[in-house]
Amino acid sequence: RSMSTCGFRHLPEPSNLRDIPIMKIADFLRPAAVNVDLNASGKLDVLAELGKLLAAAWPGVREKAVVTSLVERERLATTGFGDGAAIPHAKTDCVEQVCGALAISRTGIDFDAVDGRPVHIFFALLAPPDSTNDHLKALARVSRHLREPSFRQAIMSAKTATEAFEMIVEADDRD
């Protein structure tokens, strides 16, 4: 290896960055984990429904453990970041990979969001305790989409879980 004029070794060129796989929402969301007609009356109800969705869609996920993890995380600070959206998330040993669930409330639910407004879109994420990198990548990916008004409007217009899932995949593929 040669030395640069600054005394640093020249590192080999990185491989083509396009070859590095980008985490997509479809990597951690399944149509079976989507509910476009959430019927919940409060924060605990929402977290319980998200726990049911996660347990039903992801083999080995224990509903009670999920709900406990989400409630504990929510006690630290709200995950309702405003504009009608929240990303309840937690690390738990009951999952082996990042997994998610999406629930939509047509009426909106008081979730202690930072802007004080009701939340309509809930995207829950679970990650194993040792997966900080993947957990943060998933949070960033979901957050990026949920911050877009057009994305939120499109998701709110979905009539079925499959339609909502397909909208998410299409939006994610455009990134």
Which of 39, 32, 165, 33 is CA-nearest to residue 106? 39
Spacing of C-alpha 115 from chain mean position: 20
How far is 45 from 129, CA to CA, in rounded Å?
Answer: 25
Are 69 and 54 within 8 A, CB to CB? no
Task: List the catalytic residue out of 89, 120, 135, 145.
Answer: 89
Residues paired with residue 82 on neighbouring β-strands, in sequence order: 85
Give the bridge partners for 109, in sequence order. 119
89 is catalytic: yes
Residues 73, 166: Cα–Cα separation, whole Å? 29
Please list the active-site residues: 89
